Amino acid sequence: MAAPCRRMASRSLLQFLSCFSRTAVGNVGFRQFSSTSVCRATLMTQSVTERARSPWTLMAAVCLQRFPVISADCTPIEQQFRQMMRQMELEKSLLSDHELRLLEDAERMSRKQADDYDSDQDGDLGDQEIVLAQDLEDSWEQKLKSFQPTPRVTADADEDLTSLERCLADSLFLLAEQQVGGGKLWLLPQTRWQDGETLRQTAERALPAAGLKATFLGNAPCGVYKYKLPKAARTESTVGTKVFFFKAVLSDSGPPAAPDAPLLWAKKSELQRYLKPAYMMTVDRFILSL
C-alpha cells in the first residue's frame, strides 16, 4: 500500500495544480497559498473550505455479493481431463485391502465349486467366510441410495430474480431500483454522503434493510463513477456527482423483510440488461466473478 500511495500523492499533486489552473474562479490566489502551507491547522480548514467549494456531490454505493453455494459444473475439457486422471491414477496404484479381499473371496468360491474341495485346507477365516467383501459393497451401495441429497439445479428458483436461492453455482450481486435525477434507474444501492461520517458508513446506510447482513471488505472504495449533470441542471455549486463503490460480502441472511425499493439479485452476465452502458463499464472492472 505504501508504494502506490507515494505514486498517487505525486500524481494527485500535479493534477491538483493543473485542475486549479483550469478552474480559476477568482480564488486562484487563495488556493495557491493553501497548496504551499505546511501547518496542519490550515490544512484542516483548507479541507473544509475545499469540501464546501468542490462542485461534486458525494455518494456511496454498496456492491453486495453472495458467493456461490455449490461448485460449478465442469466444462467438457475438465470432464475429459478428470476421467483421464482417474484412469491413470488407478493404473499406477497398488491393490487396496478391500480389493485383495475381493480377489481372495473369488478364488475361494471357485475352489469350493471344484470337485476335489477340502474345506480343512482353508485357514480359519471366521467372519470373512460369512460376510463376503461383495456383500459389504452391496450394503454400502444400499445406504448411499437411501440418502436423498437436495438437487443441485432447480429451474424454478433460477427464474425468480428476487430470491437468493437462484443460480447457486454463481456469485450474485444486489441491484436496487432508485430514483435518480429524472426517472428510476437500476443500479447498485447508493445514498448521499452526509457531513461527519466516513464514506464506508454512508455505504452501510445505503444497504437496503431487508434482513441482509453484510461484511464490508475494508475502508477503501473499490471503484468510482462520476457523471456531470446535464447543462440545464448545473448550478455554481454542483457540476456532477461522484459515486464511490464499496465491496461487501453477504453473511448468512436472516428471514427476508419486505424491502422498500424493488431489489434483484443478478449474475455478472445479467448485469448488462439492467445497468446503463457507461455505469456498466465502470462496475464491470471491479466485479469479479472468477
The interaxial angle of helices 28-36 and 40-53, nearest 10 deg, is 140
Which of 38, 94, 144, 155 touches another protein by CB under 8 A? Answer: 94
- Asked if residues 60 and 199 have their Cβ atoms less than 8 Å apart, the reply is yes
Q: How far is CA 255 from CA 161, 241, 252, in A?
A: 17, 35, 10
Which of 10, 27, 80, 253 touches another protein by CB under 8 A? Answer: 80
Residues 6+ apart with CB under 8 A from 254: 211, 213
Report the distance separating Cα 192 and Cα 57, nearest Å. 8
Nearer to another protein, 28 or 261 (CB): 28
Segment near another protein (CB under 8 A); pick from 30-38, 74-82, 132-140, 177-185? 74-82
* By CB under 8 A, residue 223 contacts another protein: yes
Output the nine-digit C-alpha cell for 289.
Answer: 466473478
Which of 174, 176, 221, 241 touches another protein by CB under 8 A? Answer: 221
* By CB under 8 A, residue 226 contacts another protein: yes
Report the distance separating Cα 102 and Cα 22, nearest Å. 86
Nearer to another protein, 51 or 228 (CB): 51
* By CB under 8 A, residue 28 contacts another protein: no
* By CB under 8 A, residue 286 contacts another protein: yes
Which of 150, 159, 231, 235 touches another protein by CB under 8 A? Answer: 150
Site for another protein in 109-138 (CB under 8 A): none
